[in-house]
């Protein structure tokens, strides 16, 4: 047992130095880092790029405007005598993969030139942002032309506390470039802008998109390709809201300077329209859409060359739009997703329709650009310069492979085709328009030659089926045509009903929404027809074989209406037939119908009102009663003669009977 005790004591003695070491380490870890190192902890700061000159001539300066989000950190940085800002530039990029590696994957680039400035020496704008300017002198002068990655870093106590990475396009003003054509497309669509009753229903989201687009159109001479669903334009034109009027004026002033891409009045899928034998309906949608566009486009011609689609189009759709004169098809990333990846999105491709002679040029938006342009959060300015850098480096790849950039055409749009946010679109348009390696063009300026193009197969587009709606759509055409014949040629309903009918063709409507739209429009037509009426349950008396029937017809509407009035009866004849009448607004008029009676008595008469083309009944059939009290002329003579003959025969028969009875009772016979 003593041995056990001595072993325990020896273990405890040996453990004391280890325990002391552990305790020391714990104390050190518990102390602030400043007590150990003798320096303070440097906190990271959030830096955001506010402005930058992306295109920099070799004789100019690089300029960056940087925002530090935290106000206290910003002022601490400005007052720190040791704080510095470094501008580090990498070698010119030679591939698009390098651009995305740096911008999206955070791959560090090799720094080939660098300059450093004290933060206290920096200018600041009214918002307190730091303005960093650096001439291309010293080691920066060695930089070659092209797109370079650049990192701007804030340092305190020689530690990086905030950084941001972007790109600059360096070029010599004396150099000539074969420019790559670039187009930016902004498209706006929305749910139906009109109810079946003609009430305008523009959403706040649609108005916001229109405001964004107006701002982009007003930037300057950079041409944009614009597509606004004509039903949206029509609603804006008819709106009485002062804000809508101001927005309308902005668009009217700006749109003629840009390219307008035609489309149907409401989205009406060309692929399904072609398969559903709705070519005439599609053509009407397109033609009426062009009428609405012309109200905004001023004197600028509407070029039916490019069909821009936010949704997939297949071979049947290609045949239809080619038949209507379009020569090239441009698809957004969401519209081309079923096609898979292409080897180069600046190249034109060939697509064949389902009928002979219907081939077209295909252009698609690069999904990378679509995703970046759709950026809603984060540093949108960096996203815009990433796109610009990618386009310029992509142009260089074309040259390096022996191609001609002038034969290519890059198209920019968001994934959906909606206008990009101003925070990304505005700096991007400025950067693209000032880059000597690029040329901003309209979509219609692109080549439509199919020579040497690769063929791409389009998958079947089954997004929507219009076949089940064909009968209802045609029925509405017929009903509106008949009901419209009641109106004067200048009545406003002609265009309003057409707008409502075309709106019901919106291919994004569900089956239930489509039926509600159709019923609502039919209700409008029926409501107008019911404005004309006649008194019910009337009884009239005819005093002779030929007479006149007086009938009152009333119009409750505020405009003149025309109807056909017809009367039918088994015992009465109406020699002059039906009457076409026009009843003044909010008034009634009496009609005289010549009548010929065929017999005495009480007879039912049915009064029917129809539209002037005779195809649709107006209101309900109204039953009436005709009472014929006496017939005149030959009928009365014949009746009187028949009575006299009958009386004469009866008297003769009676006298003969008496004589025979008297002869039998004579005395001579007994």
**636 assigned to some structural domain:** no
What percent of the chain is predicted at pLDDT more than 90?
68
Cα–Cα distance, 11 to 270 (Å, whole number): 90
Higher pLDDT, 343 or 39: 343
Same domain, 283 and 151: no
Tell me the two tokens of residue 76. 């601490």
CA torsion sign for 263, 265, 268, 273 is negative
Rg (CA), the chain: 44
Cα separations in angstroms, 470 against 276, 465, 499, 514, 590: 7, 10, 17, 12, 42
Strands 622-628 and 539-542, sheet pairing:
parallel
Give tens-digit pLDDT for 82-101: 999 999 999 999 999 999 99
| Burial tier of 420 (Cβ tally within 10 Å: 0-12, 13-18, 19+) | buried
Same domain, 411 and 555: no
Among 215-224, 290-299, 543-552, 605-614, the range scoring the smallest mean pLDDT is: 543-552
Nearest in space to 132 (alpha carbons), one of 155, 109, 148, 112: 155
* 3 pLDDT higher than 60: no
Same domain, 153 and 259: no
Same domain, 612 and 536: yes
Same domain, 222 and 151: no
- Mean pLDDT on 483-490: 96
Same domain, 190 and 335: yes
- Mean pLDDT on 628-635: 57
Q: How does residue 507 score in pLDDT terms, banded at 50, 70 and 90? A: very high
The pLDDT mean for the chain works out to 87
Is residue 627 within 8 A of residue 569, CB to CB? The reply is: no
Give tens-digit pLDDT for 103-160: 999 999 999 999 999 999 899 999 999 999 987 766 677 788 899 999 999 999 889 9
* 9 pLDDT higher than 80: no
Q: For residue 411, what is the domain's CATH number?
A: 3.20.110.20
Number of structural domains, the chain?
4
* 619 pLDDT higher than 70: yes
Domain limits for position 14: 2-30
* 641 pLDDT higher than 60: no
Same domain, 391 and 247: yes
- Mean pLDDT on 526-530: 95
Domain stop point among 455, 476, 497: 455
Question: For residue 128, is it left (φ>0), alpha (ψ between -120 and 50) or beta?
Answer: left
**519 assigned to some structural domain:** no
Same domain, 237 and 290: yes
Predicted local confidence at residue 296, as pLDDT: 84
Q: Other C-beta atoms within 10 Å of 556: how many?
A: 14
DSSP sequence for 517-548: HHHHHHHHHHHHHTTEE--SS-EEEE-SSEEE
The HSE-up count of residue 206 (CA atoms within 13 Å, CB side) is: 19
Nearest in space to 394 (alpha carbons), one of 179, 164, 659: 179
Domain stop point among 103, 138, 171: 171
- Mean pLDDT on 268-295: 96
Q: For residue 563, what is the domain's CATH number?
A: 2.60.40.10
Which letter, b or e, does each residue of 632-641 get, where b requires 16 or more Cβ atoms within 10 Å of its Cβ?
Answer: eeeeeeeeee
**426 assigned to some structural domain:** yes
**486 assigned to some structural domain:** no
**392 assigned to some structural domain:** yes
Among 87-96, 248-257, 332-341, 532-541, the range scoring the smallest mean pLDDT is: 532-541
Predicted local confidence at residue 447, as pLDDT: 81
Helix axes 230-238, 204-217, angle to 10 degrees: 100
Same domain, 403 and 428: yes
Predicted local confidence at residue 608, as pLDDT: 93
**116 assigned to some structural domain:** yes
Cα–Cα distance, 357 to 327 (Å, whole number): 11
Residue with tokens 């409401």: 266
Same domain, 310 and 274: yes
Residue with tokens 């739009």: 321
Domain stop point among 455, 486, 504: 455
Predicted local confidence at residue 506, as pLDDT: 97
Residue with tokens 């020569």: 327
**550 assigned to some structural domain:** yes
| Burial tier of 339 (Cβ tally within 10 Å: 0-12, 13-18, 19+) | middle
Tell me the two tokens of residue 262. 């035609």
Cα–Cα distance, 369 to 414 (Å, whole number): 7
Same domain, 334 and 440: yes
Q: Other C-beta atoms within 10 Å of 600: how many?
A: 15
The HSE-up count of residue 184 (CA atoms within 13 Å, CB side) is: 30
Q: How does residue 12 score in pLDDT terms, banded at 50, 70 and 90? A: very low
- Mean pLDDT on 49-65: 91
Compute the 3-state secondary structure of the chain and give helix, strand, coil in percent, each to the nearest 5: 40, 25, 35
Cα–Cα distance, 420 to 216 (Å, whole number): 9
- Mean pLDDT on 164-173: 94
Cα–Cα distance, 167 to 155 (Å, whole number): 21
Cα separations in angstroms, 411 against 44, 104, 132, 420, 567: 39, 21, 33, 14, 67
Identify any residues that bridge with 39 across adjacent strands, giving them in sequence order. none
Predicted local confidence at residue 228, as pLDDT: 95
Give the DSSP letter of residue 194.
Answer: B
Give tens-digit pLDDT for 385-424: 999 999 999 999 999 999 999 999 999 999 999 999 999 9
**644 assigned to some structural domain:** no
Nearest in space to 390 (alpha carbons), one of 77, 98, 78, 658: 98
Predicted local confidence at residue 38, as pLDDT: 37
Same domain, 240 and 384: yes
Nearest in space to 292 (alpha carbons), one of 320, 267, 262, 269: 262
Nearest in space to 227 (alpha carbons), one of 195, 257, 264, 191: 264
Q: List alpha helices for 169-301, DSSP H.
A: 204-217, 230-238, 242-254, 270-275, 279-294
């Amino acid at each position: 047992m003593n041995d056990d005790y001595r072993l325990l004591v020896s273990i405890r003695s040996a453990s004391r130095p280890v325990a002391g070491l552990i305790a020391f380490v714990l104390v050190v870890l518990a102390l602030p880092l400043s007590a150990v190192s003798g320096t303070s902890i440097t906190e990271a700061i959030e830096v955001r790029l506010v402005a930058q000159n992306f295109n920099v001539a070799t004789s100019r300066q690089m300029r960056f405007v940087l925002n530090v989000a935290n106000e206290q950190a910003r002022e601490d940085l400005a007052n720190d005598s040791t704080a510095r800002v470094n501008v580090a530039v990498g070698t010119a990029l030679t591939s698009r993969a390098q651009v995305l590696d740096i911008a999206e994957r955070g791959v560090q680039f090799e720094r080939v030139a660098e300059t450093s400035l004290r933060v206290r020496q920096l200018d600041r704008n009214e918002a307190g942002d730091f303005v960093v300017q650096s001439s291309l002198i010293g080691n920066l002068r060695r930089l070659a032309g092209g797109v370079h990655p650049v990192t701007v870093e804030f340092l305190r106590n020689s530690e990086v506390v905030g950084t941001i990475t972007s790109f600059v396009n360096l070029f010599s003003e004396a150099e000539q470039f074969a420019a790559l054509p670039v187009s930016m497309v902004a498209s706006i669509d929305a749910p139906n802008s009109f109810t079946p009753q003609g009430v305008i229903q523009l959403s706040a989201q649609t108005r916001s998109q229109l405001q964004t687009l107006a701002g982009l159109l007003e930037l300057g001479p950079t041409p944009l390709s614009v597509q606004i669903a004509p039903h949206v334009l029509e609603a804006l034109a008819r709106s009485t809201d002062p804000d809508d009027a101001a927005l309308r004026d902005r668009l009217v002033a700006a749109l003629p300077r840009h390219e307008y891409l035609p489309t149907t009045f409401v989205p009406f899928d060309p692929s399904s329209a072609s398969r559903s034998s709705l070519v005439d309906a599609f053509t009407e949608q397109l033609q009426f859409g062009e009428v609405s566009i012309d109200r905004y486009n001023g004197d600028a011609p509407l070029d039916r060359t490019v069909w821009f689609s936010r949704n997939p189009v297949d071979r049947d759709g290609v045949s239809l739009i080619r038949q209507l004169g379009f020569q090239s098809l441009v698809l957004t990333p969401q519209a081309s997703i079923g096609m898979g990846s292409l080897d180069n999105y600046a190249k034109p491709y060939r697509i064949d329709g389902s009928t002979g002679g219907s081939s077209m040029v295909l252009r698609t938006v690069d999904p990378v650009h679509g995703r970046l342009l759709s950026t809603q959060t984060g540093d949108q300015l960096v996203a815009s310069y990433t796109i610009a850098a990618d386009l310029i480096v992509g142009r260089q790849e074309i040259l390096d492979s022996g191609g001609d950039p002038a034969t290519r055409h890059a198209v920019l749009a968001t994934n959906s085709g909606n206008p990009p946010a101003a925070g990304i679109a505005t700096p991007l348009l400025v950067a693209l328009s000032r880059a000597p390696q690029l040329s901003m063009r309209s979509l219609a300026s692109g080549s439509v030659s199919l020579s040497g193009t690769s063929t791409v197969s389009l998958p079947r587009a089954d997004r929507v089926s219009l076949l089940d709606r064909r009968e209802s759509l045609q029925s509405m055409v017929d009903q509106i045509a008949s009901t419209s014949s009641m109106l004067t040629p200048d009545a406003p309903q002609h265009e309003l009903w057409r707008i409502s009918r075309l709106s019901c063709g919106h291919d994004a409507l569900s089956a239930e929404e489509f039926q509600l739209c159709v019923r609502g429009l039919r209700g409008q037509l029926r409501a107008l027809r019911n404005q004309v009426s006649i008194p019910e349950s009337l009884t009239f008396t005819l005093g002779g074989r030929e007479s006149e029937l007086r009938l009152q017809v009333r119009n409750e509407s505020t405009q003149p209406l025309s109807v056909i009035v017809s009367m039918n009866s088994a015992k009465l004849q109406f020699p002059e037939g039906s009457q076409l009448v026009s009843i003044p607004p909010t008034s009634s008029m009496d009609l005289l119908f010549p009548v010929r009676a065929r017999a005495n008595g009480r007879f039912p008469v049915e009064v029917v009102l129809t539209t002037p083309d005779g195809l649709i009944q107006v209101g309900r059939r109204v039953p009436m009663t005709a009472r014929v009290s006496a017939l005149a002329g030959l009928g009365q003579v014949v009746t009187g003669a028949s009575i006299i003959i009958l009386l004469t025969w009866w008297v003769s028969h009676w006298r003969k009977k008496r004589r025979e009875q008297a002869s039998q009772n004579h005395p001579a016979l007994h």
